[in-house]
Amino acid sequence: MGKIHCPVCHSDLKKELSALSDADKKLALIILFCQNNYNTIHPDTFSFIKIGLKIAGDFGLKNDENILNTYYAFYLLHHEKRNKAIDVCNSILPGLLKKRNYNEFGLAIIILSQIEWAKGNLEKAYEVVGMGFDLLKNKKNKHRALIRLNWILGGFSLDLNEIELALHHYQISNKLCVDETDLGMISYVKIGLGSVYKNKKNYPPAYGLFKEALAASQKNKLWLVESRSYFELGSIEMAQKNYTKAHELLKNSYDIRKKNKAFPALVSSLNSLAELDLEMHNLKHAKSKLREAESICIDKNLRAKMSSVLLLMAKLAETTNDYKSALNYYKKHTQLEKEISKITIENRNQYLKLNYNAKKTKQENALQRLTNRKLKTALEKEKELNELKSRFVSVASHQFRTPMAIIQSNTDLVDLIVQKSDSQLSRPILKANGRIQREIQTMVGLMDEILVLGKITSGSTLILRPRNTNLEDLCQEVASAFNELQDESREAIIITSGRTKNVNIDRNLFKHILNNLLSNAFKYSSEIDPKIKIEYEEHTVKISIIDEGIGIPVKDLPNLFTPFHRATNVGDIKGTGLGLSIVKEYVELHGGTIDVQSNLNNGSCFIIDLPYVKE
In this prediction, residue 3 has a pLDDT band, given cuts at 50, 70 and 90, of very low
Contact at 8 Å (CB) between 114 and 152?
Answer: yes
Q: What are the tens digits of pLDDT across the range 71-124? A: 999 988 887 788 999 999 999 999 999 999 999 999 999 999 998 887 778 888
User: What's the CA gap between 147 and 141, in Å, rounded?
Assistant: 12
3-state helix/strand/coil string of 409-464: HHHHHHHHHHHCCCCCCHHHHHHHHHHHHHHHHHHHHHHHHHHHHHHHHCCCCCCC
CA 359 – CA 323 distance, rounded (Å) = 50
Residue 414 pLDDT exceeds 90: no
Residue 22, CB-side half-sphere exposure with 13 Å CA sphere: 7
CB atoms within 10 A of CB 612: 15
Q: 348 pLDDT exceeds 50?
A: no
Tell me the pLDDT of the chain averaged across its residues.
Answer: 83
CA nearest 63: which of 92, 22, 87, 88?
Answer: 92
Has residue 8 got a pLDDT over 70?
A: no
Range in 383-387, 395-399, 435-439 the model is least confident about: 395-399
d(Cα 545, Cα 604) in Å, to the nearest integer?
Answer: 8
pLDDT reported for residue 604: 92
| More reliable by pLDDT, 89 or 422 | 89
Provide the pLDDT for residue 390: 61
Q: Worst-scoring range by mean pLDDT, 121-130, 239-248, 422-431, 513-522? A: 422-431
| Residue 322 pLDDT | 87
Query: What is the spatial distance between Cα 142 and Cα 106, in angstroms, rounded to a whole number?
Result: 9
- Judged by DSSP in three states, 6 sits in coil
DSSP 362-389: HHHHHHHHHHHHHHHHHHHHHHHHHHHH
N residues, the chain:
615
Q: Report the pLDDT value the prediction gives residue 37, as an integer from 0 to 100.
A: 74
> Which is more confidently placed, 360 or 553?
553
Pairing of strands 531-536, 493-497: parallel
Tally DSSP H helices, then E strands, for the chain: 21, 7
* 269 close to 291: Cβ distance less than 8 angstroms: no
- CB 147 within 8 Å of CB 176: yes
Q: Supply the pLDDT for residue 39.
A: 67
The pLDDT of residue 401 is: 64
Q: Which amino acid is at 150?
A: N
- What pLDDT band is residue 10 in, cutting at 50, 70 and 90? low
Partner residues linked to 531 by β-bridges? 493, 546
The answer, yes or no, to whether residue 412 has pLDDT greater than 80, is no
Phi/psi for 282 (5° steps) reads -90, 75
Higher pLDDT, 246 or 465: 246
CB neighbour list of residue 223: distance below 8 Å, 6 or more residues apart: 40, 41, 217, 256, 259, 260
Closest CA to 548 of 569, 568, 574, 528: 528
Find out whether 9 and 219 touch, Cβ atoms under 8 Å. Answer: no
Mean per-residue pLDDT, 141-156: 91
- Determine the Cα–Cα distance for residues 477 and 510; give it in Å rounded to an integer: 12
pLDDT at 16: 83
